Amino acid sequence: MRIRATVAVATGALALSALAVPATQAAPAENRPGVPSYGSATHQGSAAAPKGNARAAAVAPVISKAVVNGGKPIVVGTTAVKKVSVSVTASHPAGIADADAIIWIGSSLDDPDSFGFGAPGAFKCTAASATTSTCTQTIEVDPLWLINSDSKTWNVGAWALSNDGYSVQNDKFAKTNLQRLSKITVNAAPEPVKKGGTITVTGKLSRANWETGTYKGYATQSVQLQFRKKTSTTYSTIKTVKTSSTGTLKTTTKATVDGYWRWNFAGTSTTPAVIPAGDFVDVK
């Protein structure tokens, strides 16, 4: 397990400073990094707009859309920083000068136990008209700062600045899901096998453990055993098997024709679906 050092907001957009910490220490909740601020002063030359300084609604920009990762869950492994697209669409009679977005969890941005991630650079705004623009960037999610219970629904906060200096922010404008990357293996044996003989299909379902930086077996999950004939392009489900307490899979079936065997995990709210390439068995 690893410890989260306190993280400062980097100059520039909404980056969090990723301090190097050992990968073998605990990650106490009190050491979570804070939530980044909106509207850095370096954003396309716009003036800084600290959280809470948005103008009255009558003159503020209107945010119509904020999309993270194309609306799909953010799937994060154990080591690689995950870069996900984010876009904010906003409008104002004077046009849009800048925008920003963060993803975060917690009760509020003022809660010291809340934390999140932001974009490491300025957003690029493209005008669709004189009043409306869509601004885009990437948000970087570093598994170094994650604990396993973070695999859940996150808030998407959005901020926009008009060309004449009015700003607006919505800390819970949208939602996004964070998931732990899953892996699955398959092996069908013996190869070759006599027609009518018994085939044993094994494998293991595992997922990212953000607290240890490794992949750990995913216990008691239903996984489908599927087969397709050598002459077919379609898999059929033969049976459903549950993983063991360590994530292993094992079952037997009869050999009838040449073909490919695979496991099919449908996924959960915290873990994405995963299907390996089929393992071919030659039936004599």
pLDDT tens per residue across span 179-212: 999 999 999 999 999 999 999 999 999 999 999 9
Specify the amino acid at residue 233. Answer: T
* Residue 14, domain member (yes or no): no
Judge if 163 and 44 occupy the same domain.
yes
* Residue 64, domain member (yes or no): yes
Farthest-apart Cα atoms in the chain, separation: 78
Q: How high is the pLDDT of residue 36?
A: 84
d(CA 66, CA 174): 7
Looking at residue 138, which CATH number applies to its domain?
A: 2.60.40.10
Among 146, 162, 180, where does a domain finish? 180
Q: How high is the pLDDT of residue 35?
A: 87
* Residue 18, domain member (yes or no): no
Judge if 99 and 67 occupy the same domain.
yes
Domain count, the chain: 2
Judge if 44 and 81 occupy the same domain.
yes
Q: How high is the pLDDT of residue 53?
A: 47
* Residue 23, domain member (yes or no): no
Q: How high is the pLDDT of residue 34?
A: 79
Judge if 70 and 117 occupy the same domain.
yes
E strand or H helix at 199: strand 198-209
Cα dihedral sign, 217-220-222-223: positive
* Residue 21, domain member (yes or no): no
Residue with tokens 């690893």: 2
**What are the φ and ψ backbone dihedral angles of 18, each rounded to 5 degrees?**
-90, 95
Judge if 152 and 244 occupy the same domain.
no
Judge if 147 and 124 occupy the same domain.
yes
Q: How high is the pLDDT of residue 11?
A: 27
**Both tokens assigned to 203:** 């494998």
For Cα atoms 36, 123, 153, give the angle at the middle one, nearest 5 degrees: 50
Mean pLDDT by groups of 10 residues along the chain of 284 residues:
31 30 43 74 36 59 98 97 98 97 95 92 96 97 96 98 96 98 98 96 98 97 98 98 98 97 98 98 97
* DSSP H helices in the chain: none
Among 128, 145, 180, where does a domain finish? 180
Residue with tokens 């119509």: 64
**Both tokens assigned to 275:** 């299907």
Judge if 67 and 163 occupy the same domain.
yes
Among 158, 180, 202, where does a domain finish? 180
Judge if 126 and 34 occupy the same domain.
yes
Q: How high is the pLDDT of residue 59?
A: 85
Q: How high is the pLDDT of residue 57?
A: 58
Judge if 175 and 243 occupy the same domain.
no
**Of the candidates 205, 210, 259, 265, the residue with the CA atom closest to the CA atom of residue 233:** 259
- Domain encompassing residue 245: 182-281
Q: Are 272 and 181 in contact (CB under 8 A)?
A: yes
Residue 164 CB partners (closer than 8 Å, separation 6+): 92, 94
Q: What is the pLDDT of residues 45-58, one digit of tens each?
A: 333 333 444 555 56
Q: Can you spell out the DSSP letters for 237-271?
A: EEEEEE--TTSEEEEEEE--SSEEEEEEB---SSS
Specify the amino acid at residue 123. Answer: F
d(CA 239, CA 226): 7
Q: How high is the pLDDT of residue 58?
A: 66
